[in-house]
Structure 1
Amino acid sequence: MPPRLRLTAIALDCPDPLALAAFYQRATGYALHPDSDAEFAGLTSEDGLGFGFQRVDGHRPPQWPGDGTAPQQAHLDFDVEDLDEAEAMLLELGAAKPEFQPNSARWRVLTDPAGHPFCIIARRPN
């Protein structure tokens, strides 16, 4: 049987790591890594997941929906208790809401300040 993998970190390219880290820190409550700087900033969740943001010159944000010139590449999903409340908070923090929403009753597609698409998903009762 192959070894099991444990995800320990996610990193996003962006033009301003500290600004993007601040957005996600306010949204998630994750702790800012003390060695964060203008080249690479990181957050850490309570369970140890690292969330990093690395500066890339000439960063081109992905497109939602992808059009082939700058495809979505990847996206993050976050469970939330209340879609409308979470959406309002994230928009206030600097997220944007693209016009195309494939299933807004169940999830919402937003983009972070660097243009990365992410979804907030209504948490289903257990």
Structure 2
Amino acid sequence: MATADETGVPRRLWVEEPVGRRRLPDPVRTAAVRAVIVTAVTMTQALTAFFFTVTGSWLAFPMVLSSVASTVGATWAVLDVWVTRQVWNQRNGVVSVPSSTARQLRRERRKARRTARAQARESARIRRRGSGRLSQA
């Protein structure tokens, strides 16, 4: 049970705190999880290879070879996280904050397109209504 502080109000068990930084994008997070798993397996293999070597087991040599191969794979996985992050930043690098220049430019272009479409509709409507007649009769 939560204890009460000086004011007599019981303390809450769960307190929401604001996150310090934004969440990683999904592809980057997936690559990071993959890299952590591959690195953990590599560390386990290296430790197992060390113990097999110390005990003089016949499995030491195959484990050392697989540890070397896993080290290459773990390095590749970590580089994959870095490359995926760089690609994500290049493709989706513009942060849409209210002061963003890119956002303002997009808004102005959108407004100009809307105005141009409205003018085109209005001129087409006027041409249709006139249809070449000089009088209503």
Q: Give the TM-score of the pair, scaled to structure 2.
A: 0.19
Structure number having the greater helix percentage:
2
Q: Give the TM-score of the pair, scaled to structure 1.
A: 0.20
